Structure 1
């Protein structure tokens, strides 16, 4: 996954908690309970990040997750109608997310974990299908991997040494 050096302090970031889990560790004296929070941050204009935070209290886990998400921001290429440039399947672990380009007025057709990533990335027209694992963390990371792997027609044309018209057809 390509990560760009995005200065999160200059962006107007919003965040949401996708999942909070109670996790335990068995030690000599019994079980120690901790919390794990999966957080998505984005500026709703092409920048999005995902982070996982773990701590003894929920607010601290969310804060750590938000910090981790700000460090792992990516830039998402969007076309003229706030959709993605082409269809793609993002994969992470055993989770796969099919991302399909959609025309103006479609809206975000996606399941819960994938929807939060797409909303904070600024995508307004897209259809998705979650395939394989339904683990929230893996679905979120598969969606992020899919968005990170997208290429604009200009990038593809430059790499191949052709014009944009030759690529699009």
Structure 2
């Protein structure tokens, strides 16, 4: 999904030097993990590998741009609670009232800031591997549904959803 007009912000999450050892010598390369978002509901991540760090970061950024997903937000937070699992990483996201801020740590905070969330609680259990954390957070955010999508799925009007 190419973004027209909206500038994407890019954050480097990790940059690692990796080594392949063969009989003859060691081959060094770099692995970069990058998250991109426009702070208005679009976010994506990418992993790039290259012999130079700058090239790895550029490759990761290009992949992140190709994997952008749209997230539905409601007044700076998420519409409802959500949980997701990727590998052995469990993420729990809870909507928060105005003025709470982003209660999250590390990689989860980076993703939520680039999505554009202003108030949220989060809890991360299990593995804190950055790659799995990012995948779990984006999975949880993509599973969020707003009233419009629910009404469309059920084939009823939005007014009928809010009737008691």
TM-score class normalised by the smaller sequence: over 0.9
What is the aligned counterpart of 1:117 among 98, 111, 116? 111
Q: Compute the displacement of 1:8 (Å).
A: 2.8
SS in 1 for 2:63: helix
Across the two proteins, how many residue pairs are aligned to each other?
163
Residue in structure 2 matched with residue 49 of structure 1 by the alignment: 44
Structure 2 length as normaliser, TM-score?
0.93
After TM superposition, the structure 1 = structure 2 runs for residues 77-88 of structure 1, keeping only pairs within 5 Å, are 77-79=72-74, 81-88=75-82
Q: Compute the displacement of 1:23 (Å).
A: 1.4
Q: Does 1:150 align with 2:157?
A: no
Q: Does 1:106 align with 2:100?
A: yes
Do the aligned partners of residues 9 and 24 (structure 1) sit closer, same or farther apart at CA in structure 2, a change above 3 Å counting?
A: farther
Aligned partners of 2:160 and 2:81: how far apart in 1? 19
Aligned partners of 2:56 and 2:13: how far apart in 1? 12
RMSD value over aligned CA atoms? 1.4
Aligned partners of 1:31 and 1:122: how far apart in 2? 42
Aligned partners of 2:161 and 2:125: how far apart in 1? 29
What is the aligned counterpart of 2:67 among 68, 72, 84? 72
Residue in structure 1 matched with residue 15 of structure 2 by the alignment: 20
Gaps of 5+ in 2: none
Q: Does 1:95 align with 2:95?
A: no
Q: Does 1:137 align with 2:131?
A: yes
Aligned partners of 1:94 and 1:166: how far apart in 2? 39
